[in-house]
Amino acid sequence: MKSIYKFLYLFLLIITFSSCDSFLDKEPLHQYNNEDFFTSQENANAGVIGMYRTMTSSFTFGQTMIIVPEFSAGHVSHSASYPEYENFKTHQVTAINPWIANVWQGVYATINAANNIIQRVPAMEGTNISEEKKNQFVGEAKFVRALSYFFLVRAFNRVPLKLTATEENEDLAIPQADPAVVYEQIVKDLTESVSELPESHESTDATKGRATKAASQALLAKVYLYQAAITNDYSLAASTAEEVISSGAFQLVTDYGSIWGTQNTAESIFELQFDDQTTNPLASVSNDNASMLFYVKDASVADIYESTDKRRDVAIVSGSNNRYYMGKFPNFNPASQNLPLIRLAELLLIHAEAKARSSNSISQEAYNSLNLVLSRAGVSKAIDTFTSVDDFIQFVQEEKERELIFEGETWFDFCRTGLALEKYESLSSENYFFYPIPSAQRLLNAQLEQNPGY
């Protein structure tokens, strides 16, 4: 993944980005015919790499998909206090907020890139590509599509479910799907990709930077945890997480800070790759330098940690102008900071909660998963510290905030269980667990209904 060919930029412009006349990025087929492009294994591989590249933009995981939920979680501020960011922090987002429009457009660009691969690679002639590579490329695209829809359903609730590549002159005014249907499709994509993806790729960087069987299984465990809010079945999250954990393929690193100071650690299950050419937009503006835009809200954010917690001084770094900075983006000059999207510590915490819920007990298995994370942080607790299953589950959620702060997860996780209403004084209703559907998209697509409360 690190060695991304320069011509891919042109490829991305061809198959994924478009004019802004639609919520789904139309393919400008008059510029390039996709059937003509998908004619060799090398070109198909370029298409897959191009799909991953869409995930590095400032509208997707390169910035917006991480920093916007961190504003909602009350963790960060902007140097200029722009209302469009501050409104996330006060839970007063409006439908004309540019960042919900940007992330909507960016995520659907990634989905369209994935749809192109899922639709066109299977149709390629067998003389031009091996069946093994066909399966791999389609599996990677299903993983990325699932990851993208997982963000959308958590951020917007009811979203259009587009599963085919967008054609020129296609009518894109399609209705939103119910969350249950979106989750079913995400599970389908991930379940299929588990059987299609390899255990590893040709190098460590490629293995962590491209979807693998374990990456799909780990994401599936996380999806099952969220889907359980609908199905009330936590056993699937527990068993799927346990399968990845027990494989022994991943290990918690001893030094928490090395997860970001070192690329592709033994803890990383799926890590988005950046380098000197494909730089990380968030890393470049999140440190104590002249380019700084985002920083830790204030010193009170550190209060979520015990004084002896080893993670506190890694995650929250004191700097100039009496400000604190996000320590998880240390490689900023150049901004080659990778972004771990799925790592073992989160999977252990998913397992701890799901196991406790499915067994309705603070089982030894659930406790052991939690305590592995606590022990690394230097804040291990005895099992009898927890007086009830509810007490244990809330502690696990709060532990996820401490472990995953500045990784774009806390807001969605607290909303998943309703804990957000207790945590944020400015949050007045469950309606605001979800962001509004962007006004510009509703003007383009009359079938889009606004979320309640907006």
Euclidean distance between CA atoms 411 and 449, whole angstroms: 23
Q: Is the pLDDT of residue 414 over 80?
A: yes
pTM of the model: 0.93
Phi-psi region of 360 (alpha: psi -120 to 50; beta: other; left: phi over 0): left
The CATH number of 8-169+176-276+339-427, from 1.10.287.980, 3.30.470.20, 1.10.3210.50, 1.25.40.390, is 1.25.40.390
Least confident of 77-81, 129-133, 405-409, 433-437: 77-81
Q: Which of 302, 373, 294, 374 shows the shortest CA–CA distance to 329?
A: 294
Distances (CA, A) of 373 to 96, 232, 429: 40, 26, 32
pLDDT value for 12: 42
Token pair of 138 as six digits = 């389609």
Domain boundary assignment for the chain: 8-169+176-276+339-427
Q: What is the pLDDT of residues 266-312, one digit of tens each?
A: 999 999 999 999 999 999 999 999 999 999 999 999 999 999 999 99
pLDDT (mean) for 360-369 = 98
pLDDT value for 1: 42
400: DSSP letter: H
| 8 A C-beta contact, residue 9 and residue 15 | no
Q: Positive or negative CA dihedral for 39, 165, 54, 140?
A: negative
Return the C-alpha torsion angle 272, 277, 280, 284, nearest 10.
Answer: 160
Q: Is the pLDDT of residue 25 over 70?
A: no
| 8 A C-beta contact, residue 375 and residue 328 | no
pLDDT value for 35: 62
Task: Give one DSSP letter per residue of 81-111, joined into a string.
Answer: --HHHHHHHTT---TT-HHHHHHHHHHHHHH
Q: What is the pLDDT of residues 160-173, one digit of tens each?
A: 999 999 988 787 78
